[in-house]
Structure 1
Amino acid sequence: MEGLQKYFDTIETALSKIEYAPSPDGLYAPVRYELSLGGKRVRPLLTLLACELFGGDADRAIDAAVGLEVFHNFTLLHDDVMDKADVRRGKPTVHKVWDENTAILSGDAMEIIAFRYVARTPAPHTAAVVDWFLKTALEICEGQQFDMEFESRDDVTEAEYIEMIRLKTAVLLGGALKIGAIIGGAGADDADRIYRFGESLGLAFQLQDDWLDVYGDPARFGKKIGGDILNNKKTYMLINAQLRARGTDAGELSHWLSATDYDPAEKIAAVTALYNRLGVGELCLQQVDLYSRRAIEALQQISVPEEAKQPLYDLARRLIKRDH
């Protein structure tokens, strides 16, 4: 992202300097591998940008930023085990390169490394940052639990789904910004506003992710298309398809949700065709637009000069840019 390269360079340098014990390599090699898969590094970037937005020194936020990125990747590693995902960012997932037990234990190590880095935040903001990080980390676990429980429920509401993705995805974006704001010396009101900006942005981002899993380009998306359909994952589109389907559409959807022996490509094609007929893809994109607008409105309310917010405006628009 033009103009932000210096931040990405700082983040990558800091990640490359994480010190691991020399042994056992079987514990730390998967950690290095997971972090090497790349990704947008959005969360640490948000922390550094928020710190500077309020006049802080980004160097004082780099440890917290590294901790947040390691924690984010830890959640992805464990999510891949739970979802039985074979590909992450175009590469085999940790549990495919090694095995599930290794992935679980290496993920645990990543979580501890993340806590260690966040706790290095300089005084006088150490306690406030650690408290907010722990609150956020626990909420993410709550979101993951709801996500798992939804797998065995046929009555998940749209509101429940939005709350689940708020916890599982959006609170970490909001938390990354709020932690940066705290370190930068923001007042309580502005710290809350920048949190709402990140939270709304996270909701838009996850809803877009749902849409891309069905309609995206695998080469650009970084993982196989249709994974949510094959796993009967309760997404915004599936929930609304269940609410809207009638007659033969309802029967066909029920068939695919209960089928155990099927050709994956056939199921993906059939359910995608159902989504097209029911218009739930467009409904999802409308929600992406709604939460994108809410994010921008929260950012506009922050009491710093508008020109200082430009990197965050640009980043928000880039994250939600899509091809459709």
Structure 2
Amino acid sequence: MQPIEFYRDEFINYLEKKVQTKEPHNLYEPIDYILGLGGKRLRPVLALLTTELFEGDYKNALDAALAIEVFHNFSLVHDDIMDDAPLRRGKVTVHEKWDINTGILSGDAMLINSYQYFEGYSDATFKELVQLFSKTAIEVCEGQQYDVDFETRDDVTIPEYLKMIEYKTAVLVAAAMKMGAIIAGGSKENQNLVYEFGRNLGIAFQLQDDYLDAFGDPETFGKQVGGDIIENKKTFLYLKALELSSAAERETLLHLYSIAPSDPTEKIEAIKTVFEQSSSVNMTKKEIEGYTQRAFECLKQLNLPEERKEILKIFGENLMQRTV
């Protein structure tokens, strides 16, 4: 097994070789732009790492990793349009840099490209990968729709929210890992266990992302801090605050989530104060820890030598301590 940085560097080198701007430029330049903005490359790295975890060659997983990363960035381009987001990874979003029509069409091309990257696999492997990928892709769309629906609902429950982030975020992390196990020829039991590891870690990751959206450092987080609050998104922080708040705090929170001031700074700070005073922040951190531990329980059950599993444990621990 290699260090995480090795897999990230190998993937970035492969991406730069495979994804190049061509004609028509107005279709492909935005693709090159969004893929060049960086990010953690979490999903492709996990695909490569998992392939070697099951004693396969990570190079055989590069195309699957690229499919996952291109699909993930396609979803970000379209999500940013839906959210009217000005920034992505600290840079101007595609639809702001070009226009909405360009963002839609370039995103569509990325979705098609992502399927093309599976074409080099053998028939049996191709079928398994594409079936998993299609199932995951539609779940991501379902998760996004739940997210949009929740913005105008006042009765969102915590179980509904957790299902939404499982579909919108966690299943793609889980699928990336299972793809690595498929490519390496891992047993069905190990494939399913590594999927569950990724799913639980993905939920913890998104809960951490929600926390950082409100309380992260704008210099390191790379997105507009308070963006979820501005969009009135019913995050775990918000739902827990409603559950734990006093009547007066609850009234304040509901009022603040019903207004859209021209300058949202005061709204963001007032809501963050309620999150902290209601113990919602502490409960969110406990939930993050809980899902991380569930992931580690799956890791324990994997039929692999302990020393091979250590890299995933370290990866999970580092992910939960991130500030970006």
Q: The TM-score by the shorter chain falls in which range?
A: over 0.9
Distance 1:306 1:106, change over 3 A: same
The one-character-per-residue Cα deviations of 1:92-123 (angstroms, maximum 9, x if unpaired) are 11111111111111111111111111333345
> 1:208 maps to which residue?
208
> 1:194 maps to which residue?
194
> What's the offset of the Cα at 1:19?
4.9
> What's the offset of the Cα at 1:262?
4.8
| CA–CA separation in structure 2 for the residues paired with 1:296 and 1:245 | 32
> 2:256 maps to which residue?
256
The one-character-per-residue Cα deviations of 1:215-239 (angstroms, maximum 9, x if unpaired) are 1111111112111111111100111
Distance 1:245 1:4, change over 3 A: closer
**1:81-120 equivalences in 2 (<5 Å):** 81-120=81-120
> 1:43 maps to which residue?
43
> 1:54 maps to which residue?
54
DSSP-derived class of the 2:165 partner: helix
> 2:274 maps to which residue?
274
> 1:172 maps to which residue?
172
**Contact 2:21/2:32, CA 8 A, preserved across alignment:** no
> 1:147 maps to which residue?
147
**Contact 1:68/1:118, CA 8 A, preserved across alignment:** no
> 1:134 maps to which residue?
134
| CA–CA separation in structure 2 for the residues paired with 1:262 and 1:9 | 43
> 1:315 maps to which residue?
315
The one-character-per-residue Cα deviations of 1:28-72 (angstroms, maximum 9, x if unpaired) are 000000000001111111111111111111121111111111111
**Contact 1:65/1:118, CA 8 A, preserved across alignment:** no
**Contact 1:60/1:122, CA 8 A, preserved across alignment:** no
> 1:65 maps to which residue?
65
> What's the offset of the Cα at 1:20?
5.1
Normalised to the residue count of structure 1, the TM-score between the two structures is: 0.96
**Contact 1:46/1:176, CA 8 A, preserved across alignment:** yes
1:16 aligns with 2:16: yes
**Contact 1:35/1:73, CA 8 A, preserved across alignment:** yes
| CA–CA separation in structure 1 for the residues paired with 2:92 and 2:216 | 19
Residue identity matched to 1:297: E
DSSP-derived class of the 2:18 partner: coil
Distance 1:58 1:261, change over 3 A: closer
**Contact 2:230/2:260, CA 8 A, preserved across alignment:** no
Residue identity matched to 1:53: L
**Contact 1:143/1:168, CA 8 A, preserved across alignment:** yes
> 1:28 maps to which residue?
28
> 1:303 maps to which residue?
303
Residue identity matched to 2:266: E
| CA–CA separation in structure 2 for the residues paired with 1:21 and 1:274 | 47
1:159 aligns with 2:169: no
| CA–CA separation in structure 1 for the residues paired with 2:175 and 2:56 | 17
DSSP-derived class of the 2:303 partner: coil
Unaligned ranges ≥5, structure 1 = none
Unaligned ranges ≥5, structure 2 = none
1:291 aligns with 2:291: yes
In terms of mean alpha carbon deviation, does 185-194 or 51-60 score higher? 51-60
**Contact 1:64/1:121, CA 8 A, preserved across alignment:** no
| CA–CA separation in structure 2 for the residues paired with 1:100 and 1:110 | 15
**Contact 1:119/1:130, CA 8 A, preserved across alignment:** no
| CA–CA separation in structure 2 for the residues paired with 1:36 and 1:21 | 12
1:240 aligns with 2:225: no
Residue identity matched to 1:152: T
| CA–CA separation in structure 1 for the residues paired with 2:264 and 2:235 | 18
Residue identity matched to 1:24: P
The one-character-per-residue Cα deviations of 1:192-251 (angstroms, maximum 9, x if unpaired) are 000000000000000001111111111111112111111111100111222333332122
| CA–CA separation in structure 2 for the residues paired with 1:15 and 1:85 | 25
| CA–CA separation in structure 1 for the residues paired with 2:106 and 2:281 | 37
Residue identity matched to 2:4: L
Distance 1:119 1:230, change over 3 A: same
DSSP-derived class of the 2:130 partner: helix
| CA–CA separation in structure 1 for the residues paired with 2:247 and 2:133 | 48
> 2:185 maps to which residue?
185
| CA–CA separation in structure 2 for the residues paired with 1:175 and 1:42 | 12
State percent identity of aligned pairs.
46
**Contact 1:61/1:180, CA 8 A, preserved across alignment:** yes
